[in-house]
Structure 1
Amino acid sequence: MRRRSSDDRPFPCRPGLDRRTHPGGSRVLDLGCGDGDLLQLLQEKGCTGTGVDLNAGNVLACLRRGVDVIELDLDSELGEFSADSYDFVVLSRTLQTVHRPRNVLAEMGRIAVHSVISMPNFAYWRNRLRLLRGRMPMSKDLPFSWYDTPNLHHSSLRDLEPLFSSLDMAIDQRIPLDADGHRHRLGNGAANWAASSSLYLLHARR
């Protein structure tokens, strides 16, 4: 599962995922945790965390970092976690790779009140331009050729946000990001065409 802030600089491990979104002492579950970079950073900030990943190489990398990690399938095995067993659940650049995005989001809302989600924006203007030229979109946030991409679903921000609402997940903050992981200066109004990706801070309405 893929990975990749000061308002003006690129966010360190993954865009926007730092102590501002995870207060010290929080219990964090990172779904699709990659090599454990975020969890290691959060541990240094006083958080406790667990990673979930199916890639054996990523699991080994987490263990080498001293990060707790579980090898589980996000589509079918999130029921292993008890309700409200964490304060935050993170899903960074992974929602588009799962088979059942709606089910995964619903499980996140069950496991923790607060969720942090980032996802590439298929409606980014550079992606639109490539489509106009008859080519499949490729960008820093969508770096794969059509024949070897792990991405199963593509969404614009306008398509993604109603899905959150349908699951009673309220958007507390949306942070549009440019292709380099900086907060986009044009702000939320232009996000659907100007942002290469976006970070969402959500809470489950209980």
Structure 2
Amino acid sequence: MSAPNTALRPDLQLIADWITPGSRVLDLGCGQGELLAWLKTHKQVKGYGVDLEVANIVACVAAGVDAIQGDLETGLADFGDATFDHVILSQTIQAMRHTEEILNEMLRVGREAIVTFPNFGYWQNRLQILKGHMPVSETIPFEWYNTPNIHWCMLGDFENLCAKNGVRVAERVVMDQGRRVHWLPNLLGSLAFYRVTRAPGRAKA
């Protein structure tokens, strides 16, 4: 029997809801493989994970998830064109130095990319900046001096990046504390989710 939706965190459940049963999935920065393990059990996907941390790879293997150690900054050259149906990059793109490259690589190896990131335009982030401090929150848990995040963005910034690279936004969802935000999403939403594909007739930038 399938576990209820609450088996996953709300952000991971939203991603899982977007995944087609029986599809091929690549999870970049997969952590300990929680999402892939759920998808393998409940949607019978053929999933693979990539993560930099050895401890996370060990945890993935223990959970029955196929995963390899790899540095996303070096690209996805180990994967052929159109190898996957869905390629996931969850709350990681803001920590990437080569942002455009990883977005284009995701859409080279996959039919669809799912990208999530903390929305820097969230009202609590703005308020902390007004008070003279860099934001620290549930979705931005680091201090300015030890954060791995180097490329903060808002919804419009990511959508402009997509347009520049011939990428079509198929769907956008914004959440805060596990609930969807429909009104003033760039102000009231702390976490952004995008499903994107290569725009018809557009070659890779």
The question of a shared fold, defined as TM-score above 0.5 by the shorter chain, is answered with yes
CA contact (8 A) 2:95 2:148 kept: yes
Give secondary structure in 2 for the equivalent of 1:170.
strand
Displacement, 1:181? Answer: 2.2
Instruction: Please tell me whether residue 21 in structure 1 is matched to residue 15 in structure 2.
Output: no
Displacement, 1:13? Answer: 6.3
Q: Deviations over 1:29-73 (max 9, x none)?
A: 000000000000110121110000011111111011010001111
Matches within 5 A, 1:52-201: 52-178=50-176, 180-184=177-181, 187=182, 190-201=184-195
TM-score by structure 1 length? 0.90
54-63 or 161-170, which deviates more: 161-170
CA contact (8 A) 1:138 1:145 kept: yes
Name the count of aligned residue pairs.
Answer: 196
CA contact (8 A) 1:120 1:196 kept: yes
Displacement, 1:134? Answer: 0.4
Q: Which structure: greater helix fraction?
A: 2
Gaps of 5+ in 1: none
Paired residue type of 2:150: L
Q: Aligned partners of 2:57, 2:165: CA distance in 1, in Å?
A: 30
TM-score by structure 2 length? 0.90
Q: Aligned partners of 2:197, 2:27: CA distance in 1, in Å?
A: 16
- The CA RMSD over aligned residues, in Å, is 1.9
Q: Which structure: greater strand fraction?
A: 2
Paired residue type of 1:87: D
Give secondary structure in 2 for the equivalent of 1:138.
coil
Displacement, 1:83? Answer: 0.4
CA contact (8 A) 1:86 1:112 kept: yes
Runs of 4+ in 1 over 3 A off after TM superposition: 10-13
- Residue aligning to 1:50: 48
Q: Aligned partners of 2:110, 2:124: CA distance in 1, in Å?
A: 35
CA contact (8 A) 2:75 2:105 kept: no
Q: Which has the higher contact order (CA 8 A, sep 6+)?
A: 1
CA contact (8 A) 2:73 2:96 kept: yes
Q: Say which of 20, 36, 39 aligns to 1:39.
A: 36
